[in-house]
Chain A
């Protein structure tokens, strides 16, 4: 019913291959196994084939959406800790949930630059 209207024909059009899936996973910093990549390949292609429909819309002269409801960007006064919720001076709070807080720092595996 609905699906017939809205979903693309399951053609064999594959926008992305497994190498691309792995590249995207790497860019996303999500470790995936070969099996997962294989499963993901089909799913992602289905979704991408489906959103492909957008390309048929004539958007000549149309600006991409910027603000969905008319509104202006407000600028804050340059005052330190004026609102404690967006101010500093709360190291204990900042570190409270850290998996490896040490000596007032966040610890991460050693980085070689």
Chain B
């Protein structure tokens, strides 16, 4: 249970949140036509006769869109409905050429599933929490209206019209903006792992309709509002925050919340009424007579299942099993590209724990500095494995490895070559090290006294001094052993 509460004048209010996420299915062609789906094309160039709803045009479904919806359902452990149907949702709007949206109301392709969000104390999420997903259905996207190009006209671009969407409908299981944010991030990660949606919110590939209501603890559900088409995690959290507070104010002032559709204004972080229930649509849903029922074969379903990659939760558990820290496991699995990169690194022979530490600190640090994504990392997993191998077999120390990595980034040379050319090989010659230790101890007789008197923290100081004298190239393990011997 979230302890997120809104403190009103009459007491504390709980918030109940459900999300309907529209995720654009990754496909080359549209759901019911062969026009392209690529983002950013010239207006109305990716429009077929079907998408423009010319007289006599008929829909033919794209297998890839169906396949991706099924795989997505599997990724949230949902019921896959081998029988589903397309329905028409009828309404008139300039971005909807057919006068109806082909969607799935009565028999969606995916039924009940779940998604787990992780504990995040900073965000007020005390423990892992399972959020229910009611259904996923497949439907057509609408076109786009432009309002600012002409004084008295709006312009219609149908490039998006007919692009496949998955509508992923959660249960009202979230109780704070943070939980909603975590749900969205997790959902986005899963979609990207599965490859069914690129999760690109700026390009509109993922939008959320945010259902919010408030109630006093123990009360039945309050009236909800639906804030449409919110297009970033941050905005979703802001919309909930604003909407919940607004509802509390309304209720505490003795008013009642209208069940209505609202719009989010990203500039102000507030929501406003879009249209009231009085003129709400009567969508007249009915099965699309142009499309027969969709019956998925066992083979199709099995092939979808076989094609699923390892998903974030499973991957994280596997990393934990390899001894990788919970923090690193979370960081490495949060984005599919990082996880893929890390898996390639392991495949190239790197040792899991050291590799995880190195990626989470060194590699991510470098990418951050360079402003690059892991997908265009200047160092490949194989090259990184070579570097980590040199540390693992004692050829270089960790600190030398940092230098080598920097040189790799600058020159693009391999780690072994750099170590070779720059003479950075680690020194394990006990005689040479013993000689330096003797000098260090002699120069720091006072500290030796203190150490022997019980100030054991000084051991690190002696290690550091010895390494410095060896220009960092001494094998730290050998230094440790010899120092311990020398200090008796």
Contact between chains at A88 and B48 (CB < 8 Å): yes
Between A and B, 26 residue pairs with Cβ closer than 8 Å are A71-B292, A76-B60, A77-B64, A78-B29, A79-B28, A80-B28, A80-B34, A81-B35, A83-B34, A85-B49, A86-B35, A87-B35, A88-B48, A94-B49, A102-B155, A103-B43, A104-B44, A104-B45, A105-B149, A106-B44, A106-B94, A109-B153, A110-B152, A111-B145, A113-B147, A113-B263
Partner of B45, one of A75, A76, A88, A107: A88
Q: Using Cβ atoms and an 8 Å threshold, which residues of chain A touch B74?
A: none
Proximity string of chain B (71-106) to chain A, C-beta cutoff 8 Å, 1 when within and 0 when not: 000000000000001000000101000000000000
Contact between chains at A86 and B66 (CB < 8 Å): no
Determine the main DSSP class of B at the interface with A.
loop
Indicate whether A91 sits within 8 Å of B155 (C-beta atoms), given known contacts A73-B291, A83-B34: no
Q: Using Cβ atoms and an 8 Å threshold, which residues of chain B touch A90?
A: 47-49
Contact between chains at A109 and B46 (CB < 8 Å): no
Contact between chains at B52 and A94 (CB < 8 Å): yes
Q: Using Cβ atoms and an 8 Å threshold, which residues of chain A touch B152?
A: 109-110
Partner of A109, one of B27, B52, B62, B154: B154
A-binding residues in B (CB < 8 A): 27-29, 33-36, 42-52, 57, 60-66, 85, 92, 94, 145-147, 149-158, 263, 274, 282, 284, 287, 291-295
Q: Using Cβ atoms and an 8 Å threshold, which residues of chain B touch A72?
A: 292, 295
A78 to B46, CA, bound (A): 15
Q: Using Cβ atoms and an 8 Å threshold, which residues of chain B touch A103?
A: 43, 149, 155
Contact between chains at B156 and A88 (CB < 8 Å): no
Whole-angstrom distance between the Cβ of A106 and the nearest chain B Cβ: 4
A44 to B357, CA, bound (A): 75
A35 within 8 A of B: no
Most B CB contacts (10 A, CB to CB) among A27, A80, A93, A100 go to A80
A80 to B287, CA, bound (A): 27
A110 to B64, CA, bound (A): 37
Q: Using Cβ atoms and an 8 Å threshold, which residues of chain B touch A85?
A: 49
Partner of A80, one of B36, B44, B274: B36
Q: Using Cβ atoms and an 8 Å threshold, which residues of chain A touch B28?
A: 78-80
B-binding residues in A (CB < 8 A): 27, 29, 66-67, 71-83, 85-91, 93-95, 100, 102-113
Determine the main DSSP class of A at the interface with B.
loop
Contact between chains at A111 and B45 (CB < 8 Å): no
Most B CB contacts (10 A, CB to CB) among A76, A77, A88, A112 go to A88
Q: Using Cβ atoms and an 8 Å threshold, which residues of chain A touch B146?
A: 105
User: In this complex, what residue of B is CB-closest to A83?
Assistant: B34
Whole-angstrom distance between the Cβ of B72 and the nearest chain A Cβ: 16
User: In this complex, what residue of B is CB-closest to A106?
Assistant: B156
Contact between chains at A76 and B34 (CB < 8 Å): yes
Q: Using Cβ atoms and an 8 Å threshold, which residues of chain A touch B282?
A: 27
User: In this complex, what residue of A is CB-closest to B295?
Assistant: A72
A83 to B295, CA, bound (A): 25
Contact between chains at A87 and B33 (CB < 8 Å): yes
Indicate whether A87 sits within 8 Å of B66 (C-beta atoms), given known contacts A66-B292, A102-B150: no
Whole-angstrom distance between the Cβ of B211 and the nearest chain A Cβ: 20
Contact between chains at A105 and B156 (CB < 8 Å): yes
Partner of B27, one of A78, A82, A104, A113: A78
Given contacts A76-B63, A102-B155, A107-B150, 15 further A-B contacts (CB under 8 A): A66-B85, A72-B292, A75-B62, A76-B62, A81-B36, A94-B44, A94-B52, A103-B155, A104-B42, A105-B157, A106-B158, A109-B154, A110-B154, A111-B147, A113-B145
Q: Using Cβ atoms and an 8 Å threshold, which residues of chain A touch B63?
A: 75-78
Most A CB contacts (10 A, CB to CB) among B33, B44, B94 go to B44
Q: Using Cβ atoms and an 8 Å threshold, which residues of chain A touch B61?
A: 73-76
Whole-angstrom distance between the Cβ of B458 and the nearest chain A Cβ: 67
A113 to B264, CA, bound (A): 12
Most A CB contacts (10 A, CB to CB) among B64, B66, B153, B295 go to B153
Q: Using Cβ atoms and an 8 Å threshold, which residues of chain A touch B287?
A: 66
Contact between chains at B45 and A89 (CB < 8 Å): yes
Contact between chains at A110 and B44 (CB < 8 Å): no
Contact between chains at B35 and A80 (CB < 8 Å): yes
Q: Using Cβ atoms and an 8 Å threshold, which residues of chain B touch A80?
A: 28-29, 34-36
Partner of B34, one of A88, A106, A112: A88
Q: Using Cβ atoms and an 8 Å threshold, which residues of chain B touch A94?
A: 44, 47, 49, 52, 158
A103 to B65, CA, bound (A): 32
Q: Using Cβ atoms and an 8 Å threshold, which residues of chain A touch B155?
A: 102-103, 105-108
Contact between chains at A107 and B153 (CB < 8 Å): yes
